[in-house]
Amino acid sequence: MTTSLIIPAFNEEEAIGLVIEEYYPFVDEIIVVDDGSKDKTYEIASHYQDAKVHVFQHTQNQGKVGALLTGVRKSTGEIIVFTDADCTYPARYIPVFLSELNRGADLVLGVRNIEAHNIPLFNRIGNAVFSTMATYISGKYISDGQTGYRAFRKEMMDELLVSAKSLEFETKMTVRAAKLGYVISEVPIEYRERVGTSKLHPIRDGYRMFRALLSIAWHETSPLAKMISVPGLFLLLAGIGFGLISVQERLLNYYLIHEYYPLISVFLMLFGIQLTSIGLIIDYLSKKMDRIEERIRQSFIKKE
């Protein structure tokens, strides 16, 4: 199987050459998409053009997702690998990714070793929160849904394509794959300190990721699961409401006017969480069974 590496780049003149050189021996094709950079990213990348390296340019910035989609459209490989243009993801894991795909994985994620020296504290907390949310929504354990280093078969792109503008694309794509019942494999990788200036905006991008997860949770959940989960969410919110009233009474009056509100709050929240979880588990299992049935059907077709 031929492998195409997609590198979206925006103002990455310090790192783009290093990334191309590092990945060159590991893939069959490298697609660099300069997304309207204001520096020398396009010029530097163009110096590496040959039969294997192809460089394209957006005249105006279209965002990371736009650059990735352009790269996929221009690619010729059967396997697509996404990476970043900042030198954070080592190329040596490509053979491991391909091995996982050959063993039956549909989507391979490079799980970063998140430490103090390579990711700021605020970003580490955000990554843990959103990975936990992604795990809960999808019904499958996802330890790093935000990683930009991933591999999958090109034929899957249409199903994995999600509506996104920026860094929430990776999270949304990961959860969608899990909700559809695809096999997700995680490969632990080294995560290096980036070369150049970070373009991550924690508050803005965090809000987008949160909104993206809610969007996937709603649109990719089956009607049966929604019938169970939605009442659970209302019960959870009601429980939080009773809890806030209790806290307010305790702070303002130094005693509880409604003594049973804390008990009601705990009961409603626990019951709401259980109902929501049952709905999401049912959704995950039904999607997984559909995927297994599809694979069995495809194996019979190939034998015939």
Q: Is the pLDDT of residue 129 over 90?
A: no
Residue 202 binned pLDDT confidence (cut-offs 50, 70, 90): low
> What is the per-residue pLDDT across 256-270, written as a single tens digit (0 to 9) for each?
888 899 999 999 999
**Strand extents, DSSP E, the chain:** 3-9, 29-35, 53-58, 79-82, 107-112, 150-153, 184-189
Helix (H) or strand (E) holding 277: helix 261-303
Q: pLDDT at position 177, please?
A: 87
Q: Which two tokens stand for residue 2?
A: 């031929």
Among 41-50, 80-89, 122-131, name the one with the lowest average pLDDT.
122-131
CATH of domain 3-219: 3.90.550.10
pLDDT tens sequence across 33-60: 999 999 999 999 999 999 999 999 999 9
- Higher pLDDT among residues 181 and 150, named by residue: 150
Paired residues of 112 in beta bridges: 189
- Grouping H, G, I as helix, E, B as strand and the rest as coil, residue 153 is strand
| pTM given for the model | 0.75
CB 150 within 8 A of CB 170: yes
How big, in percent rounded to 5, are the helix, strand and coil portions of the chain? 55, 15, 30
Q: Is the pLDDT score of 96 beyond 90? A: yes
Q: What is the mean pLDDT of residues 284-297?
A: 71
- If we measure between CA atoms, which residue out of 111, 113, 114 comes closest to residue 150? 111
Instruction: Please list, in sequence order, all residues whose beta carbon lies within 8 angstroms of the beta carbon of residue 304, skipping any fewer than 6 positions away.
Output: none
Tokens 């695809």: give the residue: 182
**Cβ neighbours of residue 14 closer than 8 Å, sequence gap 6 or more:** 195, 196
Q: pLDDT-derived band of residue 282, with 50, 70 and 90 as boundaries?
A: confident
Tokens for 37? 């950079």
Q: At what angle do helices 168-179 and 261-303 cross, to 10 degrees?
A: 70
Range with lowest mean pLDDT among 28-32, 39-43, 202-206, 271-275: 202-206
C-beta of residue 177 within 8 angstroms of C-beta of residue 108: no
Beta carbons of 149 and 89 less than 8 angstroms apart: yes
**Is pLDDT above 80 for 290?**
no
Handedness of CA 218, 149, 295, 143 (dihedral sign): negative
Confidence (pLDDT) at 176 = 84
Give the Cβ contact number of residue 46 at 10 Å: 14
> What local confidence, expressed as pLDDT, does residue 165 receive?
65
- Per-residue model confidence (pLDDT) at position 83: 96
Residue 8 · residue 74 · CB < 8 Å: no
Is pLDDT at 87 greater than 70 in this prediction? yes
Highest mean predicted confidence (pLDDT) among 120-124, 149-153, 195-199, 243-247: 149-153
Exposure of 303 by Cβ count < 10 A (0-12 exposed, 13-18 middle, 19+ buried)?
exposed
- Cα–Cα distance between 18 and 157 in angstroms, integer? 28
User: What average pLDDT does the segment 249-260 reach?
Assistant: 84
d(CA 131, CA 103): 25
Could you read off the pLDDT of 136-155 as tens digits, one per residue? 777 778 888 889 999 999 99
Size of the chain, expressed as the number of residues it contains: 304
Token look-up 């163009």 returns 46
